[in-house]
Amino acid sequence: MSVEIVPVVGIGEVTDTDDIASVITSALAAMNVGLRDRDVVVVTHKIVSKAEGQVRTIESEEAYRALVAGEAVEILRRRGDLVITKTRHGFICANAAVDRSNVPQGWAVLLPDDPDASAHRIRLRLQRDHDVAIGVVITDTFGRAWRRGLCDVAIGVSGIPAILDLRGGRDMQGRVLEVTEVAVADEIAAAADLAMGKASGIPVAIVRGLDLPAVEGRARDLVRTASEDMFR
Amino acid sequence: MSVEIVPVVGIGEVTDTDDIASVITSALAAMNVGLRDRDVVVVTHKIVSKAEGQVRTIESEEAYRALVAGEAVEILRRRGDLVITKTRHGFICANAAVDRSNVPQGWAVLLPDDPDASAHRIRLRLQRDHDVAIGVVITDTFGRAWRRGLCDVAIGVSGIPAILDLRGGRDMQGRVLEVTEVAVADEIAAAADLAMGKASGIPVAIVRGLDLPAVEGRARDLVRTASEDMFR
């Protein structure tokens, strides 16, 4: 079965007077696209943060650095202006995910306060308005250790597993699988980014055709604890 | 424009008498699916390695560990039976990517000797046989620092950029983009995995509908050098 990724076009500027589920529903209506059962609606966090008022003014580089410091609960590394931080959600990322692109000059966007809860709210509202059972993934763009370039990852999840647990599964030869935990929400985030693009400013995509078990995942399932992590 | 991921079904066991491009062409013919210009053919490395004879017998756990040690040029961390290694290609991954799933008991599969070259050969052959201009990505499944679960990533690339360089690009507000280097080949690998599944044993997928610049990337572009990397 094919998987399809449909970019949701026509979403303009979002402010804290907007409801994200309503914004998505309006855009889908204008596209004449409906939601189907098992669709996964992928939303870049920036519009969620804006709708939740997670936007701050920054009048200087110093104010930006202070904002980053306030959002970070731990500094893992520092090189020049770049700091690799742990956010209060547990995510390891550059500059505590405080972002100045796709926002007006002098402003910065923070992560949602509780992205799993945000995903859950958006899902319940979309499910009610469209009479479907879906998943929602909220994404951000993170760097990685060891590999160059950035990838979109899941920072909020609702209605699907964040990690697909194949433990006990067997391969085609009947051998117990070595790959047992697939970060499926991160793969969905990465896939959605292919249809959104970075510069084109499309903040939502529908990933359609997945066959995921009905497990309630959360993006915090993806956070490796410090004691499990060999690279801090 | 939607992006579509089409799993290529019906590929059976591959051995070193097989040519991967021919195997893919036969499977596509049986599906009645043709290749189109700008398609990206994503191939899990395991069938490429098998076709290239990158398969070894292992008679014991000790032989497995010796094989891992031989494939690793550097050990970054060790915890119990798990070693985090750098392979000669520069990839950081568990157990030097020596893999025992989806191979008969007593055997292990290594990475291709030069996965970028493998991707290039497969691409040239598919382009000739189908009269199209395409990209090829060869994948493996790697763990990450900081985040639980595994994701498919690109270990071989031909015909597309590995990293999409948006430096100098501007966002919707005209502000210079902060996210400038997207690891698009890794996002393609992750997306393809959504259609392949781990246990279902589908080793090839077509990612269709991307609009990538005609830049010749290589998976080694994705390797962060030790001096650039803050987490070794």
Specify the pLDDT at position B42. 98
A138 in a structural domain: yes
Per-residue confidence band for A178, with pLDDT thresholds at 50, 70 and 90: low
* β-bridge partners, A109: A55, A99
Per-residue confidence band for A2, with pLDDT thresholds at 50, 70 and 90: very high
Range of the domain at A102: 55-110
* CATH code for position B214: 3.30.1330.100
Predicted structure pTM score: 0.96
* Residue found by looking up tokens 């046989």 in the block: B129
B231 in a structural domain: no
Specify the pLDDT at position A185. 98
Average pLDDT over residues B206-230: 93
Count up the domains in chain A and report the number.
2
Average pLDDT over residues B28-54: 97
Calculate how close chain A gets to B110, using CA atoms only, in Å: 14
**B197 and B101 assigned to the same domain:** no
A8 in a structural domain: yes
More confident residue, B185 or A82: B185
Average pLDDT over residues B146-175: 89
Q: What is the largest CA-CA distance in chain A?
A: 61
Q: Which of A16-30, A67-81, A189-203 shows the lowest per-residue confidence on average (mean pLDDT)?
A: A189-203
**B121 and B180 assigned to the same domain:** yes
Question: What is the per-residue pLDDT across A30-78, written as a single tens digit (0 to 9) for each?
Answer: 999 999 999 999 999 999 999 999 999 999 999 999 999 999 999 999 9
Specify the pLDDT at position A220. 97
Q: Is B141 on the interface with A (CB under 8 A)?
A: yes
Q: Is A222 on the interface with B (CB under 8 A)?
A: yes
**B103 and B152 assigned to the same domain:** no
Whether residue A178 and residue B99 make contact (CB cut-off 8 A), yes or no, is: yes
**B100 and B169 assigned to the same domain:** no
**A74 and A33 assigned to the same domain:** no
Count CB neighbours of B114 within 10 A.
15
Question: What is the per-residue pLDDT across B89-99, written as a single tens digit (0 to 9) for each?
Answer: 999 999 999 99
**A155 and A214 assigned to the same domain:** yes
**Which residue of chain A comes nearest to B4, CA vs CA?**
A4
Please report, rounded to a whole number, the percentage of residues in chain B having pLDDT higher than 70.
96
A232 in a structural domain: no
**B117 and B182 assigned to the same domain:** yes
B61 in a structural domain: yes
**Angle in degrees, CA B182, B188, B193, rounded to 5:** 140
Q: Is A63 on the interface with B (CB under 8 A)?
A: no
Q: What does chain B come to in residues?
A: 232
Quick check: A170 pLDDT over 90?
no
Distance CA A157, CA A135 (A): 8
Specify the pLDDT at position A102. 76
More confident residue, B24 or A227: B24
Specify the pLDDT at position A198. 66
Specify the pLDDT at position A179. 62
A59 in a structural domain: yes
Whether residue B104 and residue A173 make contact (CB cut-off 8 A), yes or no, is: yes
